[in-house]
Structure 1
Amino acid sequence: MRITKRIAFAISAAALMASLGAASAQELNLKIGTEGAYPPFNNLTADGKLEGFDIDIANALCEEMKAKCEFVTQDWDGIIPALQAGKFDAIIASMSITPERAEKVDFTHKYYNTPSALAGPKDSDIKGVAKADLAGKTIGVATSTTHFNYATQTYTDSEIKGYPTSQEFLLDLANGRLDAVEDDISVLEEWLKTADGACCKLIGQPSPQPVEIFGEGAGIAVRKGETDLVNKLNDAIKAIRANGKYKAINDKYFTFDVYGAES
């Protein structure tokens, strides 16, 4: 009888261990790639801490998916190749969903959508954002971005100066080395509140903002064919929009809903 009980206990214990092992195997572990140089969306502080809207959204999505996540910082120009090489599993870095990028990665639905804008010195003689308004001017913009694509295609009578990050061209604008810069309106508005940004003002927003250049909004990029991860992330985006977590994060950084119109 004791032998029978011992056998039964052993079988039960083995079943429990197998169950725990299966649960552990199903745990979602993700590495999230981000730039860390694009406030207020993602920024690396002096003490090495990542902060910003993208970071808070990523943490909320990971919590919703019950996933264990860690962040990896990566220069913008190499962020898609790094994803493809397996350095991380997803990019949450304000990446616009465009047809060109969709040939290289798969995207979730958007998690925000804000317009492009131009800024310049407060004493600038630039009156608008049309091609003629910027003729002969030097415009700073980050390379490998939708803003760079728009500027090079639209302002053909201007000098377009490319930079690795927005922080670098904003510094040049503040120091009088540029006539204007183009970037996300939220990034520019946040910078204008700083001491360096006191020099400058918003000039305006290009209109219309062509979807074929700017895309449908910012999405999360994953490697091609990872449909299951895309679905999990889409479900999580929908969930945090519904349960109020998205709004709490939104209101921490912005005075308006950055998600934009429902699609």
Structure 2
Amino acid sequence: MKNVLKTIMAAAGLVGALVSPLAFASAASAETVKIGVAAEPYPPFSTPDASGNWSGWEIDFMHALCEDQKMDCQIVPVAWDGLIPALTSGQIDAIMSSMSHTKERAKTIDFSDKYYFGPVVILGPKGADLKATADSLADKIIGVQTATNYQRYVEKYFPKSTVKTYQTQDEVYQDLAAGRIDATIDGQIVSASFLKSPSGACCEVKDQVKIDNEIFGYGSSVGLRKGDDALKEKFNKAIANVRANGTYDKITKKYFDFDIYGN
């Protein structure tokens, strides 16, 4: 009888040895969060190198949030206009790509608390007399990245202008530097990097646009699937913790000499 019991216990132990790694793997995979980032460079927030490694303010901030909540976060590059479809279809679990929380987007996805909100500006060639008004920009070619709030803003407030769309803001800046467009609209935080670059020597900030919250929303936030309240709570807790413990300021000082959190 003892031998039979030993055999049963040994078998149970073998099964446990086989099952446990699978159980642990399942638990680990449950903690994995796939975070979608726009595939194109968006310095100083997110930039990939030749090996596909990402760096930038938003990448550092992402790692801080994930560390705070003990989440295993994986970056998944996705074309900008494919980020929301990738989220709603389950290919990614969250979006962290300077995406503004707007009422229009909130019809499709949910958002965390904001983590930054910067001014929006008009950029153009040095010496050009351009203001953020419909008359000043009449008959001008304004370059914008497609499917962005900037495109919506230009189409609404500068109806006399010609809007030229691009897949990336990088391409917009290339054409601005080459003189193929007259102006562009972008966040002041991001445009600062362009203006400090060799190609950006051509241009300068012309004017700051009036913020329309219906278009620009209420700050850049983590995009989440509707109903994913547990993950939303984790990100909100992480954002609050990282801001409170000084990590937010420490990361920000690496890239900016001013506060980007905004009002």
Give me the TM-score of the superposition, normalised by structure 1: 0.89
Q: Aligned-pair distance for 1:24?
A: 7.0
Unaligned segments of structure 2, at least 5 residues: none
Q: Which amino acid aligns with 1:237?
A: I
Q: Aligned-pair distance for 1:48?
A: 2.0
Which residue is equivalent to 1:210?
212
Which residue is equivalent to 1:191?
194
Q: Aligned-pair distance for 1:51?
A: 1.3
Asked if the contact 1:97/1:215 (under 8 Å) is kept, the reply is yes
In the alignment of these two chains, the number of paired residues is 249
Q: Aligned-pair distance for 1:256?
A: 1.0
1:249 to 225, 248, 251: 251
Structure 1's consecutive aligned runs of 4 or more residues displaced over 3 angstroms after TM superposition are 21-24
Q: Aligned-pair distance for 1:144?
A: 1.1
Deviation string 1:210-241 (CA, Å, 9 cap, x unpaired) is: 11110000010111110110011000000000
Asked if the contact 1:35/1:43 (under 8 Å) is kept, the reply is no
1:87 to 88, 91, 98: 91
Which residue is equivalent to 2:69?
65
Q: Aligned-pair distance for 1:124?
A: 1.4
Is it true that 1:173 corresponds to 2:176 in the alignment? yes
**Secondary structure of residue in 1 paired with 2:209:** coil
Distance (Å, rounded) in 2 between the aligned partners of 1:45 and 1:178: 28
**Secondary structure of residue in 2 paired with 1:150:** helix
Deviation string 1:51-78 (CA, Å, 9 cap, x unpaired) is: 1111111111100011111101011011
Which residue is equivalent to 2:136?
133
Q: Which amino acid aligns with 2:216?
A: F
Q: Aligned-pair distance for 1:22?
A: 7.6
Q: How does 1:69-148 map to 2 (within 5 A)?
A: 69-126=73-130, 128-148=131-151
Distance (Å, rounded) in 1 between the aligned partners of 2:165 and 2:26: 46
Q: Which amino acid aligns with 1:220?
A: V
Q: Which amino acid aligns with 1:115?
A: P
Q: Which amino acid aligns with 2:64?
A: A
Q: Which amino acid aligns with 2:142?
A: I
Is it true that 1:163 corresponds to 2:170 in the alignment? no
Distance (Å, rounded) in 1 between the aligned partners of 2:114 and 2:107: 17
Deviation string 1:12-61 (CA, Å, 9 cap, x unpaired) is: xx8xx98xx58972762111100142111112223322111111111111
Which residue is equivalent to 1:29?
32
Asked if the contact 1:32/1:92 (under 8 Å) is kept, the reply is yes
Q: Which amino acid aligns with 2:245?
A: N
Deviation string 1:169-213 (CA, Å, 9 cap, x unpaired) is: 000000010100001111111100000101111101112x01111
Q: Aligned-pair distance for 1:120?
A: 0.5
Distance (Å, rounded) in 2 between the aligned partners of 1:24 and 1:240: 28
Unaligned segments of structure 1, at least 5 residues: none
Q: Which amino acid aligns with 2:110?
A: D
Distance (Å, rounded) in 1 between the aligned partners of 2:157 and 2:259: 28
Asked if the contact 1:53/1:253 (under 8 Å) is kept, the reply is yes
Deviation string 1:51-107 (CA, Å, 9 cap, x unpaired) is: 111111111110001111110101101110011121111000000000111111110
Give me the TM-score of the superposition, normalised by structure 2: 0.89
